[in-house]
């Protein structure tokens, strides 16, 4: 199954994330290395959110990512949501 995690973030997010970026990227790398996180990145112009694409049996993997994400724990993420995603092209 495919899952889309979306974040809304605080104003000044790019600057505010600096102290937590290495830990956030290490977490993302763990999930990628397990094959659960497929794509991830912040929106640009404006930098007001991010999207992460997961491939996992259920949403528990995505919820585990959110629970461990220092961006969430430290208040950089103002809102997040998970959507099951029906992929019709790509995803091979």
What CATH number is attached to the domain comprising 14? 3.30.70.1060
How many domains does one find in the chain?
1
With H, G, I as helix, E, B as strand and everything else as coil, classify residue 28: helix
Residue owning tokens 């977490």: 27
Whether residue 92 is contained in a domain is answered as: no
| Angstrom distance (rounded) from CA 14 to CA 32 | 22
What predicted TM-score, i.e. pTM, was given to this entire model? 0.94
Whether residue 80 is contained in a domain is answered as: yes
By the 10 Å C-beta count (0-12 exposed, 13-18 middle, 19+ buried), 86 is classed as exposed
**pLDDT values of the chain reduced to their tens digit, one per residue, 92 residues:** 999 999 999 999 999 999 999 999 999 999 999 999 999 999 999 999 999 999 999 999 999 999 999 999 999 999 999 999 999 998 77
| Angstrom distance (rounded) from CA 38 to CA 15 | 25
Q: Whole domain around residue 48: which residue ranges?
A: 2-85
Whether residue 28 is contained in a domain is answered as: yes
């Amino acid at each position: 199954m495919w899952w889309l995690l979306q974040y809304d973030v605080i104003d000044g997010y790019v600057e505010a994330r600096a102290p937590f970026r290495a830990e956030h990227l290490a977490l993302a790398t763990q999930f990628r290395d397990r094959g659960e996180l497929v794509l991830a990145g912040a929106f640009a112009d404006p930098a007001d959110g991010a999207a992460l694409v997961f491939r996992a049996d259920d949403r528990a993997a995505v919820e585990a990512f959110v629970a461990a994400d220092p961006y969430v724990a430290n208040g950089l993420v103002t809102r997040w949501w998970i959507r099951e995603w029906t992929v019709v092209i790509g995803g091979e």
